[in-house]
Amino acid sequence: MGCGGSSAVTIVITESELSGTVMWNGTYEIRNSLTIRGPLTLAPCTRVRVAADVTISVRDRGSIRALGTAACPVQFESANPTPSAGDWGRIDIYSSASNDTLFQHTRISHGNGGTYGVVWVEDRATVGMDNVRFVQSRNRSIQVEAEGRVSTFANVSFESVDGELMKVPPVVIASLSPVTTVTTTNPRIVLDGSTMTGAAMWRNLGVSLEIPTTAIEAGAVEIAAGSVLRMLPEAVITVRNRGALRMLGTATQPVVIESAKATQAPGDWRRIDFTSTSESTNLLRNTTVRHGGDSTYGVLWVDTGATLALESTTLSMNSSCDVGGEGTVNMTTSMFMRCAR
């Protein structure tokens, strides 16, 4: 590639930790799990070859600054002569790390995400990703814990990944931009089920969002046109405490809310609750809602004192009546079955 990583010399790292300010420029092989306790900068074209089962941990004011370029990306990859998915472990970013860890024009290959992700971000830790490729990952590629944060996220792609692309808290979804996938079966981003607090726009990320039971509070969450929300079994979305939910589909790019099961059926998930403490701006516009159902509350529960607008919205293939509760439903070119009062 005409820069540091093309060197035939490989520097072998056998230490268990790095401290102080360190610059890598060339090809490095990490033989043992490594803790980074200072700023580690990787120059363009740097290759980091990681031995079997090795984990890289960033903590105690440490950071990784992988500063690749389009012409000379940084690469993390297996040290195995015949590399394959899952050869090495993961990169852990702890809350004690510096908040400026950044992967820029970086390819991360052959990691094993297990239950944590190939890149794991602890509560109160931060990571940035700009032009990052995950290639041949086993299991989950990225996991951000409930209080973890993403400082930047742009042009991230996933190729030949055999698990979830990401698992993140709802608050992180607003930080994400659309992703690209190649030869990846059932690509999806999974929410962790914590409460979404504050106003946010969830972009159409180009893959489905899997939604467990989740609450929305203290601000309007707007869902962009073309988004697909796939509800996990028994999931309920509750809008409460000055929260609002606004589905902003269009005639050509509706929002779809459906079952996350491979074989979908009515009643796979439960309902969306608009409680009396939610804001009056709740809206489903050009939205399709299917595969839900609750025999008592319906698919959409509008509590006494709550307001929901339905504009060009379709409710179908649900296991129960469509709208329950004594709240106000303002309908425009939408049809629904009201639950028995």
Per-residue pLDDT band for 121 (boundaries 50, 70, 90) equals very high
Average pLDDT over residues 305-321: 95
- For the segment 221-230, what is each residue's pLDDT rounded down to a tens digit? 999 999 999 9
pLDDT > 70? residue 5:
no
Angle value at C-alpha 190, between 184 and 194, nearest 5 degrees: 170
Tell me which residue of 233, 231, 322, 236 sits closest to 273, measured CA to CA. Answer: 236
pLDDT > 70? residue 7:
no
C-alpha 205/C-alpha 21 separation (Å) is 36
Q: Which fold has domain 1-174?
A: Pectate Lyase C-like (2.160.20)
pLDDT confidence of residue 1: 38
Task: Provide the residue ranges of all domains of the chain, joining segments of one domain with +.
Answer: 1-174, 195-341
Mean pLDDT score of the chain: 95
The predicted model scores a pTM of 0.93
Q: Report the percentage of the chain scoring pLDDT > 90.
A: 91
C-alpha 198/C-alpha 217 separation (Å) is 6
Per-residue pLDDT band for 241 (boundaries 50, 70, 90) equals very high
Number of neighbours of residue 185 by Cβ within 10 angstroms:
9
